[in-house]
Amino acid sequence: MTRIAFTKMHGIGNDFVLIDNRLLGIKLSTKDIINLSNRHTGIGFDQLLLLSQTNEDGCDATYQFFNPDGSQAEQCGNGQRCLSLYLHQKNPNQTSFRLSGMAGIVSSEILPNKQVKVNMGSMKSCLPKEINKQRCFELNFGNPHLVTCVNDVKACDLESMNKVYTNQYPKGINFEIVQILSPNKINIRVHERGTGETQACGSGACAAAYALIQAGELNTKVTVVLPGGELMVEYNQEKNIIYLTGPAQQVFTGEIIL
């Protein structure tokens, strides 16, 4: 049996278990991750955040994100903010961070108001599509997203819509439904690949805002309202960079035996 120390965190309701593996050096199997994700017999999370030592120059650590089914996710904006807060709490004098992982090197900073701003990089692609006779956008942000607009996100059966809209993606895709409230504000719900509906999704917020900015329907600074709270997405057109700003919070720490 192995005792594993963990930190439970969340970003506007998108909840995570963070394991700092830089000194532990443990190897988690798919079964281990599934057991940890169980909200009745494990700890429970939308995603597992794993920090490891990095060989990249100028980076503080390497990140990995795992879904409750044990599959690996390439990117997670809310997870990036939680990782930054965790590292800041370990070293309060440090307020900027660089982490390397599947989506590349991600930089972030702790703002004076304790919000965390993450440089999410550039959208790799954004393609218009028609699915179910509705306008959609297929995006690659290191992880895949499918975005479509609706009149009222709260009135939608997201689970049923996800099955209809994403059945042509055998490897799965993150699915966002978007309600435009104004040129500076949208309301979204997200069905995450390998997880299901979550209270928030940082990369999903970025994908939804970016798609509609490119369509000319939103300004370049957008408040994104999710069931768990609000995030700010900013698109720097000159640098072609997307920034995500929002809160992160530590909930508790503990140990679990595997």
Whether 51 is in a domain gets the answer yes
Nearest residue to 61 (alpha-carbon basis) of 94, 84, 32, 82: 84
Whether 215 is in a domain gets the answer yes
Contact 174, 157 (CB under 8 A): no
Domain count, the chain: 2
Low pLDDT (below 70) residues in the chain:
none
Catalytic residue of the set 76, 126, 136, 206 = 76
- What pLDDT is stored for residue 130 in this prediction? 97
Q: Is 59 a catalytic residue?
A: no
CATH code at position 105: 3.10.310.10
Identify whether residues 44 and 78 lie together within a single domain.
yes
Whether 66 is in a domain gets the answer yes
Determine the structural domain holding residue 31 and report its residue range: 3-113+248-257
DSSP classification of residue 184: T
Identify whether residues 228 and 204 lie together within a single domain.
yes
- Residues 195-205, buried b or exposed e (16+ Cβ, 10 A)? beebbbbbbbb
Instruction: In whole angstroms, give the CA distance from residue 144 to residue 142.
Output: 7
Whether 58 is in a domain gets the answer yes
Q: Is 149 a catalytic residue?
A: no
- Residues 25-49, buried b or exposed e (16+ Cβ, 10 A)? eeebeeebbebbbeeeebbebbbbb
Catalytic residue of the set 82, 149, 201, 206 = 201
Identify whether residues 45 and 140 lie together within a single domain.
no
Instruction: In whole angstroms, give the CA distance from residue 108 to residue 81.
Output: 8
- What pLDDT is stored for residue 183 in this prediction? 98
- What pLDDT is stored for residue 84 in this prediction? 97
Whether 98 is in a domain gets the answer yes
- What pLDDT is stored for residue 7 in this prediction? 98
Whether 88 is in a domain gets the answer yes
